[in-house]
């Protein structure tokens, strides 16, 4: 059967996508009316697919011409390959066929006006990847047009528009669709915003998915992006779905919006941990000071050199960057300090005057109110006991997010998440490959780096270990801290670089991973991270259902 295909790309990548499409249809190109055999002397044309059956939308006029030329080149290449396969000469030159490539904005055109949906079999494309912080005004308007009454669509990547447009077109048809996309649409809060209405309102079903892979283009200005490929329909199919992950593939009954073989569920923000026995997580303290309560190492030394008493008011200040890389930064911490102790220190008073002026000009009413107390951070969440610190942002190149303990004397910025009085058992579970696998799926992303949030921690399904299993996790967790202590001059960035991680630390983590997986009952049963997350999602669904 011949296929009519509408990439609807609008991205300048029509050449690549169409060529790949032709390759995919190679078996159908050789569909023979004689059941696959050619009788001698018979004039049979084996070609059942031509570029005249390809339709596309491209926003750039030059790219339209390039796409048409590329299709001719692709057709001639496929014809030549077909000659070699069927062992016959095909009279295909000069090329007479032509594709219908429409110049226009794919998000503002009615795709059905390009080709009726009743004549379509496949939709495919590589739509543009544009995060919300990089969109033009016109692109923002495109999203408003496509999503209309949807909530929070502005947080989605621009590529999400093509999924919405495709799902609307595909209603009541057997059309199959596949898009190459940025992996952001399968992570964090984007999953609920995009996929929940697609599943419920448009009956969308994911048939196959290539989980995150790194795409490094060969263009002069290289694109370094993390992509997924999602193939879907808008009708139900009983056939098993396929997940491709790192060169492996697995068959599952259902693929959800996180591209995991698990039921449809959406991790939502919650104020407290799913497990009521776990302590709360909060952000660190927020200065909102225009930088005036913060000091570099040089500024601290200069202030103390002239005013030695100021040393008592200066504390080490850490965000994600300082915590992971062992960098030094300081802050004025005047909470509970009598004004008489610092009022005579001119540099401090000058800084407080600057803080008051910065806050008084803020568009936020609460910040303007805090201009009355410039000596304090606007949001103070500093624990009075030791606490576990989780960096908000960490490199995706690390297998483990570096998590560690800090004392109350070190002030945590709002770029760290804090868990006061966290037990060594908690540390062990959170440093395990189980928690890291959950984090990689549930967390958001800053560019390609992990962006942790309380939603990761609060929704995490904890194990129910026996006392023996819990003690083992406590021992392996302590071994991780002991292995770190062997290298006091090394930062967490040094220790958790996959190329420089010390053998003692790696061994400690491997033993901790096993101890935690045994507590879950996963050890020896699961072969991949995605399988682990699928089991965690089943646990999450059971827990949330029982608490409803």
Q: Which of 83-97, 204-218, 255-269, 451-465 is modeled with the greatest confidence?
A: 451-465
pLDDT above 70 as % of the chain = 87
Taking the C-alpha atoms of residue 346 and residue 424, their distance in angstroms, rounded to an integer, is 44
Look up residue 479 and give its two tokens. Answer: 């071994």
Asked whether residue 530 carries a pLDDT value surpassing 50, the answer given is: yes
Average pLDDT for 7-16: 40
Q: How confident is the model at residue 36 (pLDDT cuts 50, 70, 90)?
A: very low
Q: Indicate the SS3 state at residue 458.
A: helix
Q: Which residues contact 394 (CB under 8 A, 6 or more apart)?
A: 320, 324, 401, 402, 449, 450, 452
| Confidence category of residue 93, pLDDT binned at 50, 70, 90 | low
E runs forming strands in 39-136: 55-58, 100-103, 122-125
pLDDT at position 150 is 78
Range name among 75-84, 111-120, 198-207, 513-522 with the lowest pLDDT average: 75-84
Partnered with residue 225 across adjacent β-strands are: 215
* C-alpha distances in Å from residue 122, one per residue of 5, 48, 119, 238, 515: 5, 16, 10, 20, 47
Beta strands 449-451 and 444-446 are: antiparallel
Give the pLDDT of residue 3.
38
State residue 176's pLDDT score: 95
In the prediction, which pLDDT does 445 show?
Answer: 74
**pLDDT at position 151:** 79
35 with 62: CB under 8 angstroms?
Answer: no
Pair type for strands 314-318 and 411-412: parallel
Residue among 75, 63, 71 at smallest CA distance from 106: 63
Contact 10, 105 (CB under 8 A): yes
* Distance, C-alpha 337 to centroid of its chain: 43
| pLDDT at 28 exceeding the cut of 50 | no
253-282: average pLDDT: 91
What's the Rg (C-alpha) of the chain?
Answer: 29
For the cut 80, the answer to whether the pLDDT of residue 446 exceeds it is no
pLDDT band, very low/low/confident/very high, at 38 (cuts 50, 70, 90): very low
Per-residue pLDDT for 209 more than 80? yes
479 within 8 A of 503, measured Cβ to Cβ: no
What pLDDT sits at residue 91? Answer: 65
Give the residue, 474 or 139, on which the prediction is more confident.
474
Which span out of 104-118, 397-411, 435-449 was modeled with the highest average pLDDT? Answer: 397-411
Q: What pLDDT, in 10s, does the model give residues 379-438? A: 999 999 999 999 999 998 899 999 999 999 999 999 999 999 999 999 999 999 999 999
CB-count exposure of residue 506 (10 Å: 0-12, 13-18, 19+): middle
User: How far apart (Å, rounded) are the C-alpha atoms in residues 90 and 151?
Assistant: 55
Give the per-residue pLDDT at 417: 97
Average the pLDDT over 470-482 and give the result. Answer: 98
Percentage of the chain with pLDDT > 90?
Answer: 60
- Per the prediction, the chain carries an average pLDDT of 86
| Dihedral pair phi/psi, residue 210, rounded to 5° | -100, 115
- Which two structure tokens, joined as six digits, stand for 113? 């006006």
Which tokens is 56 given?
């596309």
State pLDDT tens for residues 275-325.
999 999 999 999 999 999 999 999 999 999 999 999 999 999 999 999 999
Check pLDDT > 70 for residue 45: no
Strand bridging mode 176-182 / 205-216: unpaired
What per-residue confidence (pLDDT) applies to 323? 97
Residue 92: pLDDT band with limits 50, 70, 90: low
Report pTM: 0.78
pLDDT of res. 217: 59
């Amino acid at each position: 059967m011949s296929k009519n295909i509408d990439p609807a790309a609008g991205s300048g990548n029509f050449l690549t996508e169409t060529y790949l499409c032709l390759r995919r249809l190679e078996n159908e190109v050789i569909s023979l009316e004689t059941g696959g055999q050619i009788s001698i002397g018979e004039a049979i044309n084996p070609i059942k697919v031509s570029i005249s059956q390809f339709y596309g939308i491209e926003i750039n006029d030059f790219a339209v011409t390039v796409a048409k030329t590329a299709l001719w080149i692709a057709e001639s290449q496929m014809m030549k390959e077909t000659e070699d396969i069927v062992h016959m000469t095909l009279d295909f030159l000069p090329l007479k066929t032509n594709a219908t490539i429409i110049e226009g904005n794919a998000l503002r055109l009615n795709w059905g006006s390009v080709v009726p949906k009743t004549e379509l079999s496949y939709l495919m494309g590589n739509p543009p990847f544009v995060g919300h912080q990089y969109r033009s005004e016109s692109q923002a308007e495109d999203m408003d047009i496509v999503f209309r009454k949807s909530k929070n669509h502005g947080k989605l990547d621009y590529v999400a528009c093509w999924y919405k447009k495709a799902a609307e077109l595909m209603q009541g048809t057997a059309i199959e669709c596949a898009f190459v996309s940025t992996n952001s649409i399968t992570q964090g809060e984007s999953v609920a915003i995009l996929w929940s209405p697609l599943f419920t309102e448009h009956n969308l079903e994911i048939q196959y998915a290539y989980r995150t892979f790194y795409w490094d283009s060969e263009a002069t200005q290289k694109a370094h992006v993390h992509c997924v490929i999602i193939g879907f329909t808008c009708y139900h199919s009983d056939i098993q779905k396929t997940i491709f992950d790192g060169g492996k593939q697995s068959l599952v009954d259902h693929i959800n919006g996180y591209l995991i073989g698990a039921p449809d569920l959406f991790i939502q923000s919650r104020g407290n941990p799913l497990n009521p026995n776990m302590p709360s997580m909060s952000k660190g303290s927020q200065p909102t000071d225009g930088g005036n309560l913060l000091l570099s190492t040089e500024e601290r030394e200069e202030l103390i050199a002239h005013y030695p008493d100021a040393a008592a008011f200066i504390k080490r200040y850490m965000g994600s960057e300082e915590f992971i890389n062992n960098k030094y930064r300081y802050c004025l911490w005047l909470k509970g300090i009598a004004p008489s102790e610092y009022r005579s220190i001119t540099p401090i008073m000058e800084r407080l005057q600057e803080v008051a002026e910065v806050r008084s000009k803020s568009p936020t009413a609460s910040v303007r109110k805090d201009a009355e107390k410039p000596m304090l951070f606007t949001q103070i969440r500093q624990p009075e006991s030791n606490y576990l610190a989780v960096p908000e942002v960490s490199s995706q190149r690390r297998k483990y997010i570096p998590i560690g303990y800090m004392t109350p004397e070190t002030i945590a910025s709002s770029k760290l998440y804090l868990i006061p009085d966290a037990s060594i058992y908690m540390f062990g579970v959170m440093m395990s490959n189980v928690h890291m696998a959950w984090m990689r799926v549930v967390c958001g992303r800053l560019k390609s780096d992990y962006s942790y949030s309380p939603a990761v921690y609060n929704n995490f399904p904890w194990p129910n270990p026996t006392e023996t299993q819990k003690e083992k996790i406590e021992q392996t967790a302590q071994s991780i801290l002991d292995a770190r202590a062997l290298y006091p001059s090394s930062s967490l960035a040094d220790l958790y670089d996959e190329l420089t991680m010390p053998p003692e630390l790696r061994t400690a983590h491997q033993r901790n991973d096993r101890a935690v997986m045994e507590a879950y009952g996963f050890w020896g049963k699961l072969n991949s991270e995605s399988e682990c997350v699928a089991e965690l999602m089943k646990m999450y669904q059971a827990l949330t259902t029982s608490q409803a």
